[in-house]
Amino acid sequence: DHDYLRRHAAGSTHPRSLCQTSHIVGTQISNKLKEWLIDAEVTFMLNTICTDILVYDNKAIGARALINGQPRIIGSSFVVAAWGGAGSLLPNSTYPRDVNGRGISMLSHAGVLLRDLEFLEFEPLVLLSPVEIKGEPCPTAMFGEGAHLLNSKGERFILTIRPQGEAGTPKTILNQAILEQVELGNGSPRGGVYMDLG
């Protein structure tokens, strides 16, 4: 009952990113998942911050948490770690402030072997100017609609790395290319590059 648009997001071979002008797709997905969990009689604990995973005999048995600021211990027969990542540790991040690496730290302290942490990927495009909107996201999905990046010389520098252009370019490549332009002195006065919406 909703009209979705399919866009060519960064890092995808085919257009598979959904967007909609009337609703935020991510919110719809979260709401549907919440409905399923409520139907499965899962208890939701609001205003709760986990601080440690409790381990006994090499098995996770629960967590320490602050619930409404009060310390509590939550026992469990199993623990599923589903914390976002560490995106808000980066400057001008679009991540929620609680995506700060705490989950990764708790897992490490609990003895979990962590792998592939060097593959942290984040949205490479946030607005730097004007100041009133600094830090707002500038989605890479716009590349699928014809937008492209320019350095201070007006050059489409991505074409030297990837001749097919920005659409579908992995975010890691975009991040590295933008940083390289800034380090070469080809960035904007605000410390980034320009996006031409065409």
Measured CA distances, 130 to 29, 49, 190 (Å): 32, 34, 10
Give the Cβ contact number of residue 58 at 10 Å: 7
Which pLDDT does position 165 carry in this prediction? 92
Q: Is the model's pLDDT at 157 over the cut of 80?
A: yes
Strands 5-7, 17-19: pairing kind: antiparallel
The arithmetic mean of pLDDT across residues 10-39, rounded, is: 74
Instruction: Give the separation between CA 141 and CA 168, rounded to whole angstroms.
Output: 9
- Report the share of the chain in percent with pLDDT over 70: 85
Q: Please, which pLDDT band fits residue 153 given cuts at 50, 70 and 90? A: very high
The arithmetic mean of pLDDT across residues 129-152, rounded, is: 86
Which pLDDT does position 152 carry in this prediction? 96
Q: What does the pLDDT look like over 33-50, one tens digit per residue?
A: 999 999 999 888 999 999
Instruction: Give the separation between CA 88 and CA 177, rounded to whole angstroms.
Output: 21
Pairwise pLDDT comparison (26 vs 11), residue with the higher score:
26
Amino acid at 96: P
Average pLDDT, the chain: 85
Which pLDDT does position 108 carry in this prediction? 93
The arithmetic mean of pLDDT across residues 17-36, rounded, is: 75
The arithmetic mean of pLDDT across residues 100-121, rounded, is: 86
Which pLDDT does position 11 carry in this prediction? 57
Give the Cβ contact number of residue 106 at 10 Å: 19
Say if residues 31 and 169 touch (Cβ distance below 8 Å). no
Which pLDDT does position 23 carry in this prediction? 63
Q: Is the model's pLDDT at 138 over the cut of 90?
A: no
Q: If you search the block for the tokens 């996006």, which residue do you land on?
A: 195
Q: What does the pLDDT look like over 51-97, one tens digit per residue?
A: 999 999 999 999 999 999 999 999 998 888 887 788 788 776 777 78
Measured CA distances, 103 to 21, 26, 99, 177 (Å): 33, 21, 8, 30
